[in-house]
Structure 1
């Protein structure tokens, strides 16, 4: 039986768009229809005579009803069993059970099993009936919202644990190194972006460091960044160096990326145990800063193209540079200097970043304070024009003691 109740009146916020009545008694079904007609609820009523018929109807419904009125005595189910089965078929729908005058305990048991309320047949009036349905629908919505929020919090906590686990822990064998880092993902509510970095010290005392940037900002780019970081660490520990390392990462980029336009820039450093020189391999990545005795220099060694551009084996040269005494090497991704700093298309740029690093706000700071001041200064410069929208990674490698 299909019918409408109060369809000429405006729908209240708490009115269910449709209501399913599961009732085997035609007289009681007619009573429910009359109560709806006399109430101010505007809804569409559907009547089925058994739990099996209700389950079949729900399975084929395009939209679930806002409320189900369920008789506790049906030909094929009764009591708590009926409530459990109907909730399994429509878990997001409010259920109000219909009981006899002497079945108060059965009604309470139904509520304990998941029903929102119970109504006693023969003791109903239209106002009470309509209010019970509205309250049941609203309580179910609040309950569902609370459950969704809790599930969202649990997912967010689990995602945060996973992302924190994917961030690198430097692999060091001596205590005279100073490693400072700052990571700011561009995606809202994320801990991990497409930028990546790592630092490894091999048994002979050589320090290897990498920083890279996967184009794009989604989860797939973040996953590729993690893949490349792990591959880089594995290759370094296996003795791969120089252009061979770049060629390996090129192959992995092409094989693992989800979308062919994605490309990757990176810089890989090798600092020998004597700390007097620095070997650099660059693939389309920005330069690096060298801090020494209060001076800051932007260095841009020769390099090859970004990975994944389809240029074949073009070569990525390894460049050796002298390293000043008490030097600190700072690598960064382009998100640090590409924020807008003016109303046009003015950006901080690498020269502006170098000026910021050499400025008073960063002067004399230790490694971690310097890294934080550099990022905070870049964010402040872009604050009035959208901030730093891209992923940002900064890594500083230095020594605790002078040579």
Structure 2
């Protein structure tokens, strides 16, 4: 396919992925604030959208990691990038439909790695960078956020145990608004850059930019607007899972979870580590639940969530490998991948309408009982 047609198609697909990243990951910043009532659902997603947009302009270090670190930009073609993006979008939509907070970042990495590996060979993938800046942070970051969230929650309950019931929640809810806002800003700083990096990689592979280039200004603006628009749509299914599906969240736990996650994400963005904000925020919420005096966790939901984490990279990689190999056969293959991707997205949307989740029912409590860590039983 002619590059004058293919490159705009890949750029549009990258922005579409960024849009799905936005509504898939809205829960990361706002689920606990919505669950505790600190923010009304529509206000929360609007605030998160604005701050995601602002965060996109704060740094480009993660974008540079993706555009020149994960795969060899000299060996990758726009068709490969297109196939990887389609694989990532397919996995994002599937996990959104079932309400699982999987990692959009790992879906993107998996799709890109799978497509590059199949089409250009194993030498096109920088496995050292993947290990250092993708896999190891995926293991360490949720644990760090979980421990920080648990300790912060424990301290919050200890410090405020003598405060009146009316004063304590109000103070923490104000803190939740502040921490959720900062977390949204951090999310935009980290996640919007991933799309910037993909578009920059496409432009480099097409010869429009020299190797080692950072994202142009129009790419930064486009990625920021796309993720903000997706965030405003509201990923209500995943917001429900994170807000009330893992543990019962009160204002102190919500504040502790959001603050610990924000610290981890901002640190990783500064270091150029393309961290999964989903992993970090989920770890923070789980730790906050365990840090309460009567720790309660829905381990069944937590187990399904971890399973989604483990399968995201290989599943998106397989989808990206298939899409990339077909797209690389020529114009007909690229069009076929695009058509099948649109049909899949349409099917997921229609299926989601049969059991719609929105601002009106996002805080409905799941049926699964809570397991209390102290007794090992259920209540």
Q: Same fold (TM over 0.5)?
A: no
More helix by share: 2
User: What TM-score range do you get, normalising by the shorter chain?
Assistant: under 0.3
Q: Choose 1 or 2 for highest CA Rg.
A: 1
Q: Choose between structure 1 and 2 for higher RCO, CA contacts under 8 A separated by at least 6 residues.
A: 2
Q: TM-score, normalised by structure 1?
A: 0.23
